[in-house]
Amino acid sequence: MVFSSNVFLLYFMPAFFLVYFLMPKKTRNYVLLLASLIFYAWGAPEFIIQLVVSLIANFFIVRWMCKTEKPVAKKWLCALSIIISMGLLFFYKYGNFTMQNLNALLRLTGHAPLQWTRILLPIGISFFSFQSVTYTLDTYRGVNPPLRKLSDYMLYITMFPQLIAGPIVRYTDVADQIRERESTMADRLQGFYRFVVGLCKKILIADVIGLCVDKMLGPAALDPSQVGDIMTRIATLDTGSAWLVALAYTFQIYFDFAGYSDMAIGLGRIMGFKFPENFDNPYTSRSITEFWRRWHKTLGAFIMNYLYIPLGGNRKGKARTYLNLWICFLLSGLWHGASWNFVIWGALHGLFICLDKLFLGKVMKRIGTVPSVILTFLTVNIIWVFFRIEDIGLAWTFVTRLFAFDFSGFALDGNAHFYSILVLAVLFSFITLTPFGRKAQTAVYSTDYTDKQHVFVWIIAALAFVFCVAALNATSFSPFIYFRF
């Protein structure tokens, strides 16, 4: 189930909040857990049992780990817990990818390929596996005591607002809130406003831009039979259209992901949870390093705390620091998807971060804010191509079209709606570079409204919610003039 679906917006969400708020406070966690399991079971019915079993196993392993006095045993139990979490992630997410490449290698070396039945990727596995790891490591490090109740642990991992697409909530951030939290009327309303902001980002901006991107580049998960057609289209694409498509995708992915995070944060806030922010105007960054401090912040924090620092961070010399950084981003790319294009995407980001550390960061500082923002944005924009186009040949052809300087035509079939939304997306992405923009953003995300302001904001939020539901259904409502024969 995704937030921007009718089942969620019109059935699940109203029904859940009705039951949640009608129940006594003590039982609300159980209601939330049950709803989260239903939420997950709706989208991944085949995986729910495995999820529950792995969570139970992990919970008891961690409890055992905390009770044991021997450091070696503690270490082994911690490792076992991480292996369970990451093992599931590796098996489901990278099983197909690994076997595909292994068989390709075997074929190259003249050996018979291994038999492998393709497995389906359970929804949200990348997020809840990481959360499970944070729980294990935070308790292992003694940052927080382990949860006493299995239900609380399961709730932390499976809480539906952040189950599928984050933010990756560290155990330490919500440990107290799971046990005890307060949700005032203002919190509930502000949560609703935040949810609507996210819904607008997703439905009114990302989805509209996405239509045009899909028209040019085909669906995100490309069928091998479609590659030929798309290649023909891309190979003849004029430079203007190519840049517009790349730009469109850059904004689509931002508003899509940021929208989803806003919705998650909003839903959490309605119940009294305060989830960490995931985005902070990433396209206004002046370097790739800064971009990663603003883009998917919870993932950045996770990599920093649970990968970069354990690898040695910057404590083992310059060369090792660069290597560590590069490994982190390579793995970050792989975390986004089990495909070589994601590896390239991560590797390129890692490369630019190393270059920042070497000299680029200083150069960017010297050239001033606007040029550095533009250059960083364009770099990110080009690197996104490898994220969007799974086939590396296609992605490379697309990148060559960006620099082909072919202005012979204009193939992009966009309408006024697309261009207007694209302009709005640009405006919203860069407005915080101005003082007015920063003020406006602070006002929108404010948590301190007066009653009058609440009334005003509520009316706008209610209208926006209605409009989003309308847009969600109207964009695909295309009746025929007559019956088709």
Partner 1 sequence: MKKNSGILLILFCMTAVLLFAPLIQQNLKPFTFKKLSGYLEPAPKPSFSYEAYKTGKYQHLAEGFLKENFGFHDPLIRIYNQCTYDLFKTTSNKDVAIEKDGWLYHTESIRHYFGTMGSISGISNQQVHDNLANQALCLYKTNAILQEYGIHLLTFTLPTKSFVYPEHLRKHPIGDTTFNAATFLEKQLALYGVPHINMTPWFQQMQDTCPISLFYSKDSHWASGAVFAMDSVLRYMERLSGQQLTQLQIGTPYPVYKLTRHEADLEDLLNLARPLKHEPLYEYPIHYLSNKYTQRPTVWFLGTSFYWRITRRINFDALFSSRDFLYYTSIYYTNREQDYQPGYHIDLLHELLTHDFVVLFKDGPQLYHQGALFPGKFLINLCISEERQKEKINFVADSIIQAWDPQTYADSIKCYSQAEFLLQQNPEMFEELRGDSIPTCRNPRIEQILVEKKIRADRTWRFLLTAKANNDSLDVQKTFEKEAYNVLNNKELLRNHTFFTTYDYFDLLVKEALDDNCWHSDLCITKSEQTRNVINAIIEQAIDTVEKRIQQHAYDNDTLMMMACAMDKIVKGFEKEPNLVALREKAVKKQISLDKMFRDDVVWIFNTTNYDRRLHDDVLTQAFANYRTERKMRNQQQAMESIMQKHQDLNMPLRIILNRDIKWIQDHKQQ
Q: For binding to partner 1 (CB under 8 A), which residues are involved?
A: 1, 5-7, 10-11, 13-14, 17-18, 42-43, 45-46, 184-186, 188-189, 192, 411, 413, 415-417, 420, 448-451, 454-455, 458, 462, 465-467, 469-471, 473-483, 485
> Least separation, in Å, of the C-beta of 6 and partner 1?
4
Catalytic residue among 111, 296, 336, 349: 336
Q: Which is nearer to partner 1, 48 or 392 (CB)?
A: 48
d(CA 153, CA 139): 12
d(CA 303, CA 126): 13
Q: Which is nearer to partner 1, 79 or 464 (CB)?
A: 464
DSSP collapsed to 3 states, 220-272:
CCCCHHHHHHHHHHHHCCCHHHHHHHHHHHHHHHHHHHHHHHHHHHHHHHHCC
Joined together, the tokens standing for residue 394 give 């296609």
- Asked if 175 and 234 count as a contact pair (C-beta separation under 8 A), the reply is no
Q: Which is nearer to partner 1, 362 or 417 (CB)?
A: 417
Q: Which is nearer to partner 1, 271 or 348 (CB)?
A: 271
List of residues 6+ apart from 164 with CB closer than 8 A: 2, 43, 123, 124, 127
> Least separation, in Å, of the C-beta of 195 and partner 1?
10
In the block, tokens 């798309």 appear at 230
Where in 11-76 does DSSP place strands (E)?
none
Q: Among residues 229, 217, 240, 214, which one has the least CA distance to residue 411?
A: 240
> Least separation, in Å, of the C-beta of 89 and partner 1?
21
Q: Among residues 327, 296, 306, which one has the least CA distance to residue 133?
A: 306
> Least separation, in Å, of the C-beta of 97 and partner 1?
22
Task: Let me know if 454 is a catalytic residue.
Answer: no
d(CA 380, CA 250): 8
In the block, tokens 């550390």 appear at 357
Q: Which is nearer to partner 1, 83 or 459 (CB)?
A: 459
> Least separation, in Å, of the C-beta of 448 and partner 1?
6
Residues labelled catalytic: 336
